[in-house]
Structure 1
């Protein structure tokens, strides 16, 4: 048994320890395992840790639950993503309230290419269905490496997943429950296809009791996992507006399709646009342009050669990394690859931007020019 995984899962089972405090515990002790092997007196010195929380951490039931969860993971061939690991979604790492651990199933690569979340009402109009299908098809034509993210719910969600599969794109579903079931049950077949061409990703372990609030919580993952969030159709109080709110709080780019002022199904989208909480788009081309994803010409070979002669080894390494990530790479991921701090990497990228070698993109992304 993987001891570190055992303690990572156990940390998720500790009552009263949210994601923020869990991160703090790991930062102070060095690892999930170290938390459980630390003496209670030492834990009490960590800000936010009370005697009640120490008792919760040292409760032997926590490790027993973690052992059962590992058996469940192995039985269902699931993958885990702990927030300190490189394969944890780098976009989510930026979000202060992101889950400390995720459970996934499928051909999951959560850090490759562009991610676009598409959300909307559970009762879409024909207009919304057509918009969703056209948006996904046009995004696929622009870049077949784009991944579509949604929540597997009725309505726009499942239409987005289905359109992605039909267009040959990978798609991720973020359910509001553990992976021991599929809700709604009517979407079981499409969930199987999603697993083959992307995957299911959730923060909820198998012991999670189904609750409506979990579907609200999962919206922050849909928002944080992507570069951009598109609201296709939403009523004035629609759940998609919660996803848009999370996305705005994470400094993600939010877009919405407008509807007629008399359309109830578009009232939420119109409000987002009116309040400057979402940019108006009418097509995939609008989104692509506003995200800065257009293809730009590269400098002439002679100019590049002259510039490269004056670059440091680290700058040359950055150029090589960017060449391998033609669609761009997040600065946090880049910092890990080149083994530099975020501050040093930021300074390097600014200097290289002035030299005309890199171009910043929305959401902390960079690409070569």
Structure 2
């Protein structure tokens, strides 16, 4: 992209009263941001939705100076800029009506042809929530999903750390420019995240942290992924806003159920009750609802996975190999294991790419 066009796009993204939807409308009409800013007042006034106030902001030189400063920051700090018409722009986010015309990133983010999950929740995550979140990501690790969250206290940072622990790419979406970190306590995780993922934001470096920015940040979290998972939430909270945004984008939403009297289960239970989210209790539920092809994603790792099997997992695998296709009741008798325990082992083997389910509640090795 030419420097002049990027400068004009930076101005357009930050113009007061324009917004992301109108910005795209203007670009569609004029073709380029450069042509837009060269247009006459008469040409601009002919476009639906562009009133006097918006016309004034298009001619305000303050935005030009801010854009020049931002372009200088981008160049000096080697910030990656993704224009919504370019191939580098995240494909799922591009589908969202209010996605930004420019997205800024830092790190080693690669979203192409990868399963992407957003995981969010309360900032006051409980020990139960932490345990569930860590196990969920651990169980999903063989499928190598990209894990997205908001870099905030509580659930978000638990999500990012668990992804890093399992060598999964993780993407943190920020509610401010890339020249700062909020909360500052999480800056110590920045290098690790950039090495195996990175940061996204649609805010410029002069946009300091403000709580009102969270709504804008949440739409990026929801828009990047095919599904959003809410771990824990009170009756009100940012994670419910993210879930509502994902629901409005016609994306899958999942919630972890909890006891009705638990404060941080009320939000999740409400999402399920209102049919805005599917209830899940394990990684296997998620894989089932998203219809992920486990065999295709784990095919190259099977030799190592087989070698790692021990104890009852190895017993079940070897017995299934001997029998061939088998119903769970038949396999339960053959292995001498109760069906509830066998079901858990089969889910684990399925997630590891060792077995696959068949119609009629049968299983076979891959």
Is the TM value for this pair above 0.5?
Answer: yes
Partner of 2:203: 204
What secondary structure does 2:118 align onto? strand
* Aligned pairs for 1:254-333 within 5 A: 254-295=253-294
Say whether 1:224 aligns with 2:223. Answer: yes
> CA shift at 1:295, angstroms?
4.0
Partner of 2:212, secondary structure, is helix
Distance 1:235 1:14 in 2: 35
Question: Does 2:130 align with 1:116?
Answer: no
* Higher mean displacement: 81-90 or 103-112: 103-112
Do 1:121 and 1:240's aligned partners in 2 also have CA atoms closer than 8 Å? yes
**In structure 2, distance between residues paired with 1:122 and 1:274:** 23
Instruction: Give the Cα–Cα distance (whole angstroms) in 2 for the partners of residues 112 and 6 of structure 1.
Output: 31
**What CA deviation, in whole Å up to 9, does each residue of 1:219-261 have, x standing for no partner?**
1111111001000111111211000000100001000111112
Contact 1:230–1:254, Cα closer than 8 Å, also in 2 = yes
* 8 Å Cα contact 2:182/2:209 also seen in 1: no
Alpha-carbon distance in 2 for matches of 1:126, 1:62:
47
- Shift of residue 111, structure 1, vs aligned partner: 3.5
**Structure 2 residues without counterparts, runs of 5 or longer:** 297-366
Distance of 1:112 and 1:294 partners within structure 2: 13
Quote the offset at 1:209 in angstroms: 3.8
- Could you tell me the TM-score, scaled by structure 1's length? 0.77
State the match for 1:150 in structure 2.
149
Unaligned runs of 5+ in 1: 298-369
Q: Distance in 1 between matches of 2:112 and 2:37?
A: 30
Q: 1:110 to 1:2 in 2, by over 3 A?
A: farther
Structure 1 residue 61 displacement after superposition: 2.5
> Which stretch shifts more, 283-292 or 256-265?
256-265
Aligned partner of 2:103 in structure 1 is 102
Q: How many Å separate the matches in 1 of 2:3 and 2:157?
A: 36
> Within 2, Cα distance between the matches of 1:155 and 1:196?
22
> What residue is the counterpart of 1:340 in the other structure?
none
Count of aligned positions: 295
Cross-structure match for 1:66: 67
Partners of 2:220 and 2:87 in 1: CA distance: 18
- Aligned match of 1:333: none
- Which position in structure 1 is the counterpart of 2:181? 182
Alpha-carbon distance in structure 1 between the residues aligned to 2:34 and 2:221: 29
